[in-house]
């Protein structure tokens, strides 16, 4: 029978919570990909113009580009902020952008490259996954460190 003292229980809880964070990040990423993919497949196509580009450095190796795009649809002008989970495309002011706009909400747009008006929500899966992995690694390191001493049951 396995006995759980307070320390072991905290480690197990940390691993479970870390796993939930990783799983939640993966599920959110899949859901956002599905929503954006559907918008690209079924949305109304229009051309927009990049009016502002902002790059944010998140950590040493990660950056996020947020692009403000002007476009017209059904006689109405729109200015929306788009960002991407992967941040692979380099936009500049004045660039033309092919947009796919939601048929029921003209403020929701996406590009085939994955930029979308979900903006910073697209960054949340990576943060959840990273937090979960860090939590699991710290818990396992703590478990390993504890495992080096004599077992309380050996005697």
Express each pLDDT in 48-59 by its tens digit: 999 999 887 776
Task: From 75, 73, 70, select the one nearest 105 (Cα to Cα).
Answer: 73
Counting the structural domains of the chain, the total is 1
Tell whether 152 is covered by a domain: no
What own/partner pairs with CB < 8 Å and gap ≥ 24 does 115-118 have?
115/67, 115/82, 115/83, 115/84, 115/89, 116/32, 116/36, 116/39, 116/82, 116/83, 116/84, 117/80, 117/81, 117/82, 118/32, 118/35, 118/36, 118/83
Tell whether 1 is covered by a domain: no
Confidence of residue 144 (pLDDT cuts 50, 70, 90): confident
Which structural domain, as residue segments, surrounds residue 66? Answer: 6-147
Tell whether 14 is covered by a domain: yes
Tell whether 34 is covered by a domain: yes
> Rg of the chain's alpha carbons, rounded to an integer?
22
The mean of the pLDDT values for the chain is 86
Tell whether 132 is covered by a domain: yes
pLDDT of 3: 65
- Asked if residue 132 has pLDDT above 80, the reply is yes
Tell whether 123 is covered by a domain: yes
CA-to-CA distance for 47 and 70, rounded, in angstroms?
Answer: 9
CA-to-CA distance for 37 and 67, rounded, in angstroms?
Answer: 19
pTM recorded for the entire structure? 0.73
Tell whether 153 is covered by a domain: no
Confidence of residue 81 (pLDDT cuts 50, 70, 90): very high
Contact 85, 25 (CB under 8 A): no
Tell whether 155 is covered by a domain: no
């Amino acid at each position: 029978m396995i006995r759980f003292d307070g320390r072991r229980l905290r480690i197990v809880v940390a691993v479970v919570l870390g796993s939930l964070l990783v799983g939640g990040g993966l599920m959110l990423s899949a859901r956002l990909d599905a929503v954006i993919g559907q918008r690209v497949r079924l949305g109304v196509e229009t051309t927009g113009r990049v009016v502002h580009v902002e790059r944010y450095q998140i950590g040493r190796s990660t950056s996020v580009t947020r692009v403000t795009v002007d476009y017209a649809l059904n006689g109405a002008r729109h200015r929306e902020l788009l960002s991407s989970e992967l941040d692979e495309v380099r936009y500049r002011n004045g660039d033309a952008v092919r947009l796919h706009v939601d048929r029921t909400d003209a403020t929701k747009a996406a590009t085939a490259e994955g930029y979308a008006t979900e903006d910073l929500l697209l960054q949340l899966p990576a943060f959840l996954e990273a937090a979960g992995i860090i939590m699991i690694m710290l818990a396992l390191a703590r478990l390993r460190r504890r495992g080096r001493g004599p077992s309380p049951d050996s005697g």
